Amino acid sequence: MAKQHINRFILAAAFAVSFAGAAHAAALDQFKSFVGSTKSARGEFTQTMTKNVDGAKKTSAPSTGTFVFARPGKFIWTYQKPYEQVLQADGEQLFIYDKDLNQVTVKQLGDALGSSPAAILFGSNDLEKNFTLTEGGARNGLEWLKAVPKAKDSSFELISIGLKNGQPEAMELTDNFGQVSTLAFRKFEKNPSLGSTAFRFDVPKGADVVKQ
């Protein structure tokens, strides 16, 4: 999976958390419970991307890593395989560290989370301001919630979250080119104790810093 696509996925796009709710409750009810009860979380993820190539669907090799977040706007999304990369936000700035290049790109977080998939996971509780939320029905043993960005300039057409037993199991992000990024979550821990400096980014020694 191309690094620039991953960066766009996290920014205009990226982790999910546990929901309090009945095992077969409607996805929207579970989601609203999640928004109200989950202030922070951490866990592991697997990510793949599917796209049409010459009329056939092809899926990339999986990327794996870990995540931790605290609402609003603080997170660390770490890719461990097949290469190492860190996307980290402290509530004001986003830091993208590419270990291979030993380079850190710094961006203002600003309203970047607004109508992106990241807003669902890391943003404020006012999600219906930026998304139209509807039930997506049952599929593959999960209850699905559909989130359509209200912003016309969003990079994504549809964000779907699959839930089971009160927590998300999967997330699908369909972009404007028909490509689908799929996330599967595991080892989720809800509302862990996080230190006050957990999201402070320290520039690695010798790394080049590029501000955008």
| 102: Cβ contacts below 8 Å, ≥ 6 apart | 204, 206, 207, 208
For residue 94, what are the domain limits?
Answer: 3-193
Task: Look at residue 13 in the predicted model and tell me its pLDDT.
Answer: 41
CATH number of the domain that residue 88 is part of: 2.50.20.10
Q: Do 102 and 206 form a contact (C-beta atoms < 8 A)?
A: yes
How many domains does the chain divide into? 1
- Domain membership of residue 204 (yes or no) is no
| 79: Cβ contacts below 8 Å, ≥ 6 apart | 6, 63, 64, 65, 85, 86
Pairing type for strands 142-149 and 156-164 reads antiparallel
Task: Look at residue 17 in the predicted model and tell me its pLDDT.
Answer: 33
Cα-Cα-Cα-Cα dihedral sign, residues 166, 167, 169, 173: positive
| Tens-digit pLDDT profile for residues 105-132 | 998 887 556 556 666 666 665 677 778 8
Q: Which DSSP symbol is given to 75?
A: E
- Domain membership of residue 70 (yes or no) is yes
pLDDT over 90 percentage in the chain:
37
- Domain membership of residue 207 (yes or no) is no
Checking if the pLDDT of 40 tops 70, the result is yes
- Domain membership of residue 211 (yes or no) is no
- Domain membership of residue 210 (yes or no) is no
- Domain membership of residue 212 (yes or no) is no
Q: Say how far apart CA 160 and CA 180 lie, in whole Å.
A: 10
Q: Mean pLDDT, the chain, as a whole number?
A: 81
- Domain membership of residue 208 (yes or no) is no
- Domain membership of residue 80 (yes or no) is yes
